[in-house]
Each structure stands twice: as C-alpha cells, then as structure tokens.
Chain A
C-alpha cells in the first residue's frame, strides 16, 4: 500500500467524512438531549438532565417503552423459534420445491414495508378484528423472520451433519440430538438472530405506524406523534435513550457470544 499512499490517504479521508455524515445526526441527538432550553435547537445552554427526568415522569412514554420491550422480546422469541425449525428443514433435508419455498420465506425482505402494513391491516379489517397488540406481534414476526432464517441457515451450513449423526448412532433421539449437539453449536447464530429481530421490532416505524393504536404505541410511534408539533429537547432525550438501548444491546450480545463461543468444541 505504501507505493500508493497519496491515494490511500484520500480514501481514508473520504471514509472518515462518510463516518462524520453517518454519525452527525446520532451524535447531535445525544448532545441536544442534555440541552436545558425549552424551544429551538442550538445553541446549547448548559447541561441538564431536565428532559430525561421529564421523560421518566411521562406515563404514556413509559407505557410505550414497556410495549416496545415486550413486543421486541416476544417477536425475538417467536421469530427465532420458528426460524430455527425452518432453517433445519432447508439445510438438513431435501424435498421438492425447496428453493421456491426458501425464496417465499425470504420474500418479506423484498416487499416494501408500506405494502406489508396495508395488506395485514386490510386482512384484519376483512376479518372484522380491531387493531391490537397481537397484530403488532404477528406483523413484526413476518418482518423479522427472513433475517433470522438467513442468519441461522448460514451458520447451520457450517455445522457438519456428522456430529448429529454420531449422536444418533450413540442412541440419542432427534430431540436429544438437537438439544445436546445442534443447539449449542447454533447458539451464536440463534443469539444473533434473536437480537436482530428484537432490534428490528424495537426500531420499526414504517409498518408499525399502520398497526399501532393510541393504546398500543411503541416508542418510535410515540416519537412520530410527538414530532407532529415540532422537534423538542424531549424528543431528543427519548431518542438518546433509544440509541443507547439499541446500540448497547448488540455490543453486549457480541461480547457475550464471544464469551460463549469459547466453549465451542
């Protein structure tokens, strides 16, 4: 690389500028969350926790947080569970129509969320069911399932079938084999998949805005409705809490999975 160091320097500067572009909006949200002033955005007039305290006292925001956390966790559990089963079918078995079905299960990635939002809502309307928490849950499962499937499949391909066969030869039944052999080997991918679904569910706004109601708000939907007035330090404080939560979780999980993977055979 030394022979081309001028070009390489330019590449580094360019990349750095892209980082600035990507991070500026995020950093600004966190900084402004500490701005004590009531209106407007800049300049900063000192540092205060005023808006965080106000958030903690706002019941509808606490509610939205609870909803989002429960919804994200349930989505992660359901999506990961059915995603693992499907991945096992695709990687460990041969059956007619396999490729078509795989594409079908990955299709939600390529279908615009706005259409997913409308179609599920329309279906519910035809069934004459009101919007509910269940709608958010099933909607988020559909949104996140393809990602779980991709992540788990990719890992499963790398786990030799021989391990499972050995367990079976030694007398384990299918469930024991899965519990004692496949599952521990899959664990990093399962955690990654679960985490991915949690974050997608926790952050999603495009489809969720169709499905949410005033009683069943998630944090992004709450932010959206607060934005109707104008941007405020309170929104920035809420955004800052969301950012810290969604960034700390994957980092923590990455650390945990590295710790766990030490026990790999």
Chain B
C-alpha cells in the first residue's frame, strides 16, 4: 500500500483547506486584531498593545457581562438536565410502538429556525400574548402583566434552543446501556428505583456531562435570546461582540472580546476533555 500514501491527503485536501482557510486563519486574525488600535476616525491601526484587554477589565461593566454569561450558561445547563433527563429516560424505557415517533417529535423543534422559536415567546408571553389572554379570559387578572424582557424570558428562549441537544445526548448514552445489567440488578432484589440509582443513572452520566458541555458552549456563544427576549440588563458576552462589531464597527475591541470568550470556552473544553474525553459529544450527532 506504499504507493497509496498520497491518497488520503488528496481526499482530505478540499475539506482541510476549507477549514484552515475559513476557520483557522480567520481565528488567528481575530487574535492579531485584538492587539490593534482603533483610531478616533474609526480606522484600525496595526499595533501590539493590550489596551483592548485593559479596557475590558478596567471597570466592572464588561467583566460583569462575562460573569452574567457564565451564570446564565450554568442556569441553562441545570434546567436542561432537569427538564431533559426524564424525557430521555422515557424514550429509553418506553415499549410503545410509537417510540420512534416520540423521538422524532422531540427532535422536530431542532429543525425549526432558531429565530422563529425565539421570537414566538413574544406570542406566548407578550402583553397580548397567549398567557395574558387566557388569564384575562378566566378573570384572574384585569390588565395584562408584562413578563417579557428579563432573564426569565431569556432562559425560556435558551431552553427552547438547547433542550433537544440535552435530550439527545442523554438518550444516546442511555441506549448504550446493556439492558441485561438492569435485569441482573432486578434479579438481585433491587427495586426499580434502586436499579435506576445504582445502574442506569451512573452509566448515563457520560451522556449527561456531554450534554452539559454542549449546552454550556452553545449558550455562551449565542446572542439571539438576550437580543430578542431580554432587556437592557440581560446582554451576554456574544451580544457585546455583536454590538461592537456590527454596531460601532470597533473591530479591535470586538476581537479582544471574542478572544476572551474563546479562551473561556477553551479552558472549559480542555478541562472537560482532560478528565472526561470529548468524543461522547460527537456520538449524539451520529445517532441520527
């Protein structure tokens, strides 16, 4: 097979050059740009200085947004586990012949555009939205109360986006559990609950943690729910990047914030990979 050495490289050439040219090099550019200066006229001046980073950390405003991002990401992760584990377990244990259809259904929202799922919370929670309409109809309240534009609605938007990822990850790892282990536990006299606690739950944890990582990373990198469902005080780090780059065209500062976000995620992914291994994440995408 000596003569075939060039073949894999020929096959890889298009995708590798795409990723290197369109991802690796551009990300390097972001890093380089984060050290540049911005002239008052708006032009970017090549330089090597840490001013953009100093600006980020000079008072509590920007670090506050970073901390808020991390907090919201953790809240989303926890809510996703709480809301996602039981449905995943239901799919795993269900013997219904509609099981495949149930599974398909929980994945369907995944196919619906993020912006539609996000903006539709306005239909539900807006002043003349579904909830207010129903509450007024049954006479519980007289004037609509406003529920939108706070952290709670931002979380709703995030959950809508990320819950399918969590369910899928947990389900894939549950499906991987040898069911005879459960039967063995039951034969040894475990109750259903004990068998779950001693066998199923520990064996499904790789899927749970993979789901957590994915949800965390995706939450930290999104700006749409805060933009559409959040108020002025609910911006996350990605909103900041969007505003600096698209709004004020401050490329060097926008780049520096991007580098800060990337570093945060890199530390988290690296730590995760070191102790738990990253490959579980990719399993869930292969399943379908």
Contact = CB atoms under 8 A, between A and B. Distances in A.
A24 B269 CA distance: 33
A11 B133 CA distance: 30
Contacts of B109: 22-23, 26
B280 to A, nearest CB: 13
A231 B106 contact: no
Given A42-B128, A206-B224, A119 B90 contact: no
Interface in A105-122: 105-116, 118-122
A43 interface: yes
B251 A122 contact: yes
Interface in A27-41: 28-29, 32, 40-41
A28 to B, nearest CB: 5
B15 A242 contact: no
A97 B9 CA distance: 11
Q: Is the interface of B mostly helix, strand, loop or mixed?
A: helix
Contacts of B119: 223, 227, 231, 235, 239
B111 A118 contact: no
Interface in B108-160: 108-109, 111-117, 119-124, 126, 128-130, 132-133, 159-160
Contact of B11 (A14, A85, A116, A246): A85
Given A104-B19, A154-B286, A125 B251 contact: yes
Contacts of A23: 109
B15 A105 contact: yes
B86 interface: yes
A65 to B, nearest CB: 13
Interface string A41-64: 111000000000000000000000
Interface string B3-24: 0110111011011101100111
B269 A110 contact: yes
A118 B239 CA distance: 12
Interface residues of B, number: 86
B179 interface: no
Given A122-B29, A205-B114, A115 B121 contact: no
Contacts of A175: none
Contact of B26 (A26, A123, A204, A235): A123
Interface in B32-89: 33, 83-84, 86-87, 89
B215 interface: no
Contact of B87 (A14, A125, A239): A14
Interface in B152-195: 159-160, 163-164, 192-193
B86 A14 contact: yes
Interface stretch (A137-145, A159-167, A179-187): A137-145
A194 to B, nearest CB: 14
26 contacts: A1-B95, A4-B193, A18-B83, A18-B87, A19-B106, A21-B83, A24-B124, A25-B121, A26-B109, A26-B112, A42-B133, A82-B14, A86-B16, A88-B11, A101-B12, A104-B24, A114-B261, A119-B29, A119-B30, A122-B33, A138-B22, A142-B19, A151-B285, A219-B113, A220-B115, A227-B115
Given A82-B15, A110-B265, A242-B113, 8 more contacts: A19-B105, A22-B109, A22-B164, A86-B14, A114-B221, A114-B223, A120-B23, A206-B221
Interface of B: 4-5, 7-9, 11-12, 14-16, 18-19, 22-27, 29-30, 33, 83-84, 86-87, 89-90, 93, 95, 102, 105-106, 108-109, 111-117, 119-124, 126, 128-130, 132-133, 159-160, 163-164, 192-193, 217-218, 220-224, 228, 238, 241-242, 245-246, 251, 254-255, 258, 261-262, 265, 269, 278, 281-282, 285-286, 288
Interface of A: 1, 3-4, 7-8, 11-12, 14-15, 18-19, 21-26, 28-29, 32, 40-43, 81-83, 85-86, 88-90, 92-93, 95, 101, 103-116, 118-123, 125-126, 138-139, 141-142, 145, 147, 149-151, 153-154, 192, 199, 202-206, 209-210, 219-220, 223-224, 227, 231, 235-236, 239, 242-243, 246-247, 250
